Amino acid sequence: MAEATGNQESKDYGIGIPAVNTVYKLKGSNNYDWGMKDRLSRVFSPKSGKTVMLAFDHGYIMGPTSGLERIDITILPLLEYADCLMCTRGVLRACVPPTYNKAISLRCSAGSTVLTELNDECVGVEIEDAIRLNASMMAVMVAIGSKFEALTVRNLCKMIETGNRYGIPTLGVTAVGKELTRDARYLGLATRVLAENGAQVIKTYYCEENFEQVTAGCPVPIVIAGGKKLPELDALKMAYMAVDQGALGVDMGRNIFQAEHPVAMIQAVKAVVHEGVNPEKAFKLYNELKAEKKTKK
């Protein structure tokens, strides 16, 4: 306890120097409370303003899909390169040691799998468990334009309500589904609806035409999912274009963990997102890291 007597006299009040009042620069986020900003700063690097989220929550709808059969073998070596881990609470507790100290984007909606009808979801994780797991963000899927639209918007709103109460941001995830077109008109509408309902971050897909209209029309940060596995150079081009057109990062899964060399691929994606390295240079880096790995074996 501080002593009551014998202390140095206070003298340095910086009279005449205005108090520092820092603006929180992340898109649309300046008016949030401290805890929410602190969590968002764990997801989005304060230095680059961007994020590389590693998505490996696919098992909740697909089971042990290619590359995710053994999280301990294939995913753990990637974690040090990611800013944020997007996963389910089941895999987080069972397979991810808490010593990595990475931001967690916890998959909180659940309900149906590829065997039945996708997108018929509810809120599957309550806020208490998200807090216990020290989640930096809670992810909820929303199927705008499908018959599950109202249901999934309600799920999103419920999560946002509870998240706001405790200072945890909600990641609104635009749905996957055969019937949902991934063009700028649809993605622009879906991302805007999620943001209007209060989602602090939106995950959606990249589209080749007019993606900059999607990011411009969305008042909060957008991160892109990678989608199905592409050749590595194409995936790097997609990440580059998305960031160049206003996305603040990626939430990428299959294009990393299904790459020929996932550890090299996540480092190449990181160079694109955080350093603005062009896709050809990043692909060169990928090949160099891949070759290094081979010679080390």
Q: Which residues contact 294 (CB under 8 A, 6 or more apart)?
A: none
How many H helices and E strands in the chain? 12, 10
Q: Which is nearer to ligand 5RP, 30 or 113 (CB)?
A: 113
**Considering the complex, what minimum distance in angstroms separates the CB of residue 279 from ligand 5RP?**
17
Q: Which of 50, 102, 203, 237 is catalytic?
A: 203
Sign, CA dihedral 274-215-242-55, equals positive
From 106, 141, 108, select the one nearest 123 (Cα to Cα).
108
> How far from chain centre, in Å, is Cα 294?
30
Of 172 and 253, which CB lies nearer to ligand 5RP in the complex structure?
253
Exposure on the CB side of residue 53, measured as CA atoms within 13 A: 35
User: Which residues of this chain interact with ligand 5RP, rule CB under 6 A?
Assistant: 55, 57-58, 61, 86, 173, 176, 225-227, 251-255
Shorter beta-carbon distance to ligand 5RP: residue 32 or 111:
111
Q: Helix 279-296 to helix 232-244 angle, to the nearest 10 degrees?
A: 140
Distance CA 26, CA 157 (A): 22
Rounded to the nearest whole angstrom, what is the least distance from the CB of residue 61 to ligand 5RP in the complex?
6
Q: How far is the CB of 108 from ligand 5RP (least distance, A)?
A: 12
Residue 290 annotated in active site: no
Rg (CA), the chain: 21
Shortest CB 68 distance to ligand 5RP, Å? 10
User: Cα 36 to the chain's mean position, in Å?
Assistant: 15
Cβ-based nearer residue to ligand 5RP, 32 or 235: 235
Residues tagged active-site: 203
